[in-house]
């Protein structure tokens, strides 16, 4: 079901869903209090720990931001471990360290992407992250630990909570808790955030600046805009980055919020896709899927079949070397501070001292 259709259904059923939504939000608040008061066991890493998570679900850019942090840590000479549940993964053992040779069905698509892009880091899959965290501390003795999708995973203590939002979270999605909306907890949970990120273009962020300030001023935390900028195309079979061109193309994706990808692709390619095939998030592609994609492309006479890096990682053994993947890079531009700090993009503001100060508190 597309997000737009989901929103329509939620709006129609809101009178029925609202009591459930309020109950869910209250249950999450009680759970948080139990962790805070020590009623639930927590694991404390013996190094700085950053959680990269969100208040809603899907499409907020957690994996690209985690990738950026892993690369920053490497430049700073920090040995880093990233803990992830590995959505959809079926690891042979737990905890499961991922490397570039791990089968995608064992590792999961996003952990394998991160491992391929950051061979110096340790990517560990385990739904019980206090277990994998303790194991990784003993095994690798890291200088930094990252929690992927960790905002609601309070069993591991962290020094900084990076909370990612999308433009929808500030408008129709604001404080709309499951099942009325996509939020995993109510707005009260935002008090735990240390840094906010908004995944949008700089122009959209500027247009929303007053609304963002209105929504987030009470928390007093810095807010940074970031976006995934497409730099070109690459063949799945390897090779140099290529220009987009203006050829007819078929686009397909199994990601959260695919509608945003379609809009972006139109901008990149200068034209609409002849076909946009949407698969469920984290879809496990099969030979039959590839055959269907190829048949549709041939029927429409398209010259390029294009997907995202998240899709590409699952297609490497299905004979898709001639498919194209969008080559993306994270870029930071705008920011909002609620104190006298001079506004600067995240990559200019962020440094090792901020991490050290948070750890020493």
Burial of 169 (0-12, 13-18, 19+ CB in 10 A): buried
What is the C-alpha to C-alpha distance for residues 254 and 28, in angstroms, rounded to an integer? 29
pLDDT in tens, 299-342: 999 989 999 988 999 898 899 999 999 898 999 999 999 999 99
Tokens of residue 118, six digits: 């950051």
Read off the pLDDT of each residue in 259-268 and give the average, rounded to a whole number. Answer: 87
Residue 10, pLDDT score = 66
Residues 6+ apart with CB under 8 A from 271: 246, 248
Residues 6+ apart with CB under 8 A from 150: 51, 52, 53, 83, 129, 156, 158
What is the C-alpha to C-alpha distance for residues 310 and 32, in angstroms, rounded to an integer? 32
Question: Is residue 1 pLDDT above 60, yes or no?
Answer: no
Question: Is residue 77 pLDDT above 90, yes or no?
Answer: yes
Residue 317, pLDDT score = 86
What is the C-alpha to C-alpha distance for residues 165 and 233, in angstroms, rounded to an integer? 27
CA angle, 167 then 168 then 171, to 5°: 100
Residue pair 82/123 in contact by the 8 Å Cβ criterion? yes
Residue 24, pLDDT score = 84
Residue 335, pLDDT score = 98
Read off the pLDDT of each residue in 248-265 and give the average, rounded to a whole number. Answer: 88
Model pTM greater than 0.85? yes
Helices (H), 233-286: 258-269
Read off the pLDDT of each residue in 42-50 and give the average, rounded to a whole number. Answer: 97
Residue-by-residue DSSP string for 129-184: HHHHHHHHHHHH--SEEEEET-TT-TTB--SEEEEEE-HHHHTTTTT-BTTTSSBS
Residue 7, pLDDT score = 60
Residue 8, pLDDT score = 67
What is the C-alpha to C-alpha distance for residues 203 and 260, in angstroms, rounded to an integer? 15
User: Would you place residue 9 in the very low, low, confident or very high pLDDT band (cuts 50, 70, 90)?
Assistant: low
Question: Is residue 85 pLDDT above 70, yes or no?
Answer: yes
Q: Mean pLDDT of all residues in the chain?
A: 92
In CATH terms, 17-227+332-360 corresponds, of 3.40.50, 2.170.120, 1.10.1760, 3.30.1490, to 3.40.50
Look-up: residue for tokens 């570039």? Answer: 100
Residue 9's H or E segment, with its range, is helix 3-12
What is the C-alpha to C-alpha distance for residues 158 and 171, in angstroms, rounded to an integer? 29
Read off the pLDDT of each residue in 13-20 and give the average, rounded to a whole number. Answer: 78
Q: How far is CA 21 from CA 7, 44, 180, 190, 361, in A?
A: 14, 31, 6, 17, 35
Look at the alpha carbons of 129, 131, 133, 136 in this order and tell me if their dihedral is positive or negative. negative
What is the C-alpha to C-alpha distance for residues 110 and 137, in angstroms, rounded to an integer? 22
Residue 125's H or E segment, with its range, is strand 122-125
DSSP 8-class letter at 342: P
Residue 87, pLDDT score = 82
What is the C-alpha to C-alpha distance for residues 98 and 117, in angstroms, rounded to an integer? 12
What is the C-alpha to C-alpha distance for residues 90 and 20, in angstroms, rounded to an integer? 32
What is the C-alpha to C-alpha distance for residues 70 and 81, in angstroms, rounded to an integer? 9
Residue pair 267/228 in contact by the 8 Å Cβ criterion? no
What is the C-alpha to C-alpha distance for residues 193 and 210, in angstroms, rounded to an integer? 20
Percent of the chain with pLDDT over 70: 96
């Amino acid at each position: 079901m597309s997000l737009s259709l989901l929103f329509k259904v939620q709006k129609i059923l809101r009178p029925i869903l609202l009591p459930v939504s309020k109950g869910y939000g209250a249950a999450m608040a009680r759970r948080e209090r139990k962790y805070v008061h020590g009623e639930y066991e927590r694991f404390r890493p013996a190094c700085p720990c950053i959680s990269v998570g969100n208040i809603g679900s899907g499409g907020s850019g957690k994996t690209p931001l985690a990738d950026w942090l892993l690369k920053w840590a490497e430049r700073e000479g920090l040995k880093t471990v990233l803990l992830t549940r590995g959505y959809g993964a079926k690891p042979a053992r737990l905890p499961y360290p991922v490397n570039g040779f791990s089968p995608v069905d064992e590792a999961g698509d996003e952990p394998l992407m991160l491992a391929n892009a950051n061979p110096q880091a340790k990517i560990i899959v385990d739904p019980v992250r206090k277990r994998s965290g303790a194991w990784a501390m003993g095994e690798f003795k890291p200088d930094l630990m990252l929690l992927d999708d960790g905002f609601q995973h309070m069993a591991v203590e962290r020094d900084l909570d990076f909370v990612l939002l999308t433009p929808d979270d500030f408008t129709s999605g604001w404080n709309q808790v499951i099942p009325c909306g996509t939020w995993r907890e109510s707005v009260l949970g935002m008090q735990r955030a240390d840094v906010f990120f908004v995944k949008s273009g700089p122009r959209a962020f500027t247009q929303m600046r007053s609304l963002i300030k209105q929504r987030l001023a009470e928390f007093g935390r810095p807010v940074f805009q970031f976006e995934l900028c497409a730099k070109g195309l690459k063949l799945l079979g390897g090779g140099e980055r290529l220009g987009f061109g203006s050829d007819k193309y078929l686009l397909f994706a199994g990601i959260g919020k695919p509608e945003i990808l379609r809009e972006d692709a139109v901008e990149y390619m200068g034209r609409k896709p002849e076909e946009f095939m949407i698969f469920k998030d984290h879809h496990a592609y099969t030979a039959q899927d590839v055959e269907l994609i190829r048949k549709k492309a041939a029927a429409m006479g398209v010259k390029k079949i294009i997907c995202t890096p998240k899709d590409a990682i699952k297609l490497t053994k299905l004979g898709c070397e001639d498919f194209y993947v969008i080559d993306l890079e994270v870029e930071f531009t705008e920011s909002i501070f609620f104190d006298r700090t001079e506004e600067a993009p995240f990559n200019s503001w962020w440094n090792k001292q901020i991490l050290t100060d948070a750890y020493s508190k």
